Amino acid sequence: MEKVLVVDPEKCTGCRLCEQVCSVWHEKTVNPYRARIKIVKWEMQGKVMPMVCRQCDDAPCLEVCPMGAISKDSDTGVVSVDYDRCIGCRMCVSICPFGAMTYDFVDKKVMKCDLCDGDPQCVRFCDAGAIKFVPKVNTSQDTRRLAAEQAMAAIGQG
């Protein structure tokens, strides 16, 4: 069964441990800028929210890639990047509706969550329980709507 990361912004403390764990797991360095998960902070409102890849059914990043470097595993539903094919054009970064695709200026490559091969480290280390790894039940449109509503609520607009 396909599983995805789901966030509860009300539980997020903004500790950024998820970013640190992610960067260590993937890049072997403690550097939040090289993580595949990002904590977005709205300082004035005192709100924080983890931004994660939603592994979209109709992944815009996959559709826009001119090199066919992004694919979706039909068994797990994981959307991943083939770095041998990726040219670093960052079209996927610009089209992702969640801000989940980023660019690593050190290695000159795009980055996105790969769910840590089925054992997301951000979930393992989130003591607050703000990030969960659950069976996918929503459509991409429902997932996008929920993410937009969470972001709007976080900044006091919803």
What confidence tens digit (pLDDT) does each residue in 68-112 have? Answer: 999 999 889 999 999 999 999 999 999 998 889 999 999 899 999
Give the percent of the chain with pLDDT over 70: 87
The reply to whether 38 falls in a domain is yes
Q: Domain total for the chain?
A: 1
What confidence tens digit (pLDDT) does each residue in 10-43 have? Answer: 899 999 999 999 999 999 999 999 999 999 998 8
The reply to whether 40 falls in a domain is yes
Domain hosting residue 24, numbered range: 3-55+98-146
| Residue 50: closest CA among 7, 3, 114, 102 | 7
Using 50, 70 and 90 to split pLDDT, how confident is the model at 46?
A: confident
The reply to whether 125 falls in a domain is yes
DSSP E strands, the chain: 3-7, 38-42, 47-51, 70-72, 79-81, 102-104, 109-111, 131-135
